[in-house]
Structure 1
Amino acid sequence: MGLDFSILAGYEGVLVQGAIWTVGLTVASIVLSLVIGTLMAVFRLSGMRIVRWPVSFVIWLFMGTPLLLQLYLIYFGLVQIGLDLNAFTAGVIALSLHFAVYDADIIRAGIVAVDKGQYEAARSLGLSHAQAMRKSIVPQALYNVAPALGNMMIALLKESSLVSVIGVMELTLSAQRAISDTFRPFEFYLAAAVIYYVLNLVLEQAVKAVERRSAKYR
């Protein structure tokens, strides 16, 4: 009975490995979600219904269903139609799509907030619509909504623990494996919480650095 944190000494390698997998999963999902979210935001603002409506439907679908269900559908469901993904890839895809729809909503608002004169100025310089969006409007929108996107990145880091249910050996599952050996849940879950908090602080500082940089362009 009682707490015994000395038990952690034999499992630091397991926890560090889990933290590395968590970082890799988070970074890959953040990058992919921003790319997909930006494309969704641009398509949703398109004047063509054949482009706008499917994207709006996908956003509605993913916003209306829980991440855990989406994770199960991608990992266990796609294999039934011949698409067999490994657990890490399925986790990245699920996290990326889930957060991309929220990023899309944020980025869309940022694009709408950019002064229309910026678009007209870009077109007057001879840029096409796509070039004006890519080189002028979207970068300004991303700068303007950097704080909101940063919050979504932090949320993604926390939600990455859900991929443990499909066997990705990230931090939460690593702690659970150690607990199954030692039957000491409090010590290992607390250790995992501390590591998550440290990772969260690092990500927060990175986001603040981006915000300071983006403030120069506003």
Structure 2
Amino acid sequence: MVSNPEAPRQARDVLYATLLDGIVQLRYPPGARLSDVAVAAELGVSRTPAREAILRLADEGLVAVRPRSGTFVTPIDRHAVREAQFVREALEVAALQAAMANRERLDFDALAANIAGQREAIARDDIPGFGVFDTELHQRIFDASGFPAVARVAAPSRAHLDRVRKLNERPEAFPQLIEDHARLVAAMRDDDVDGATAALRVHLRRVLEVLERLERVRPDLFA
């Protein structure tokens, strides 16, 4: 029987993605304890990939390994959230401007259909569905820029933003986000680079408003 040399790496990557999603979706909230033994047993893998996945999360500041105490999901780090937002805004504004300089790459019918899909998803209270359309819209900007892989540059810090965004999943928040997207697409269609850039900056900075509100109402979640 020939072993698959890629199997351990694949197991580690799948486990990392599963744990990351659990942290972002708050199934593992700040302060939750993560045991590599328990995680390995729960997900049906050996202890080694579980330990490696947890160490990767520790490198990204999402868990803290405390000798003789255990491993715990970290509180939300204000600076890490602001830094992640800064990186995302810098990359996405550059991508937007590159995309608008090459308008033939922009599919405005697809962008309009995306906005319609966002509205329909929220109308039926399908928050995960809205998230799919949201991610797709922003990725379309990177795709049209000619540098689609740039979106992955900010991926390691994205979880810090996503934890805050998850805590803002309130019915009253979504109409504003959809209108942000609609204004952005309208400015892009009008070839208004300054207007589109301003609309995108306003949209991407909303997470900082959420951060300030959460610090007031849920101080227990923060470092």
**What TM-score do you get using the length of structure 2 for normalisation?**
0.30
Q: Which has the larger radius of gyration?
A: 1
User: Larger relative contact order (C-alpha < 8 A, sep ≥ 6)?
Assistant: 1
**What TM-score do you get using the length of structure 1 for normalisation?**
0.31
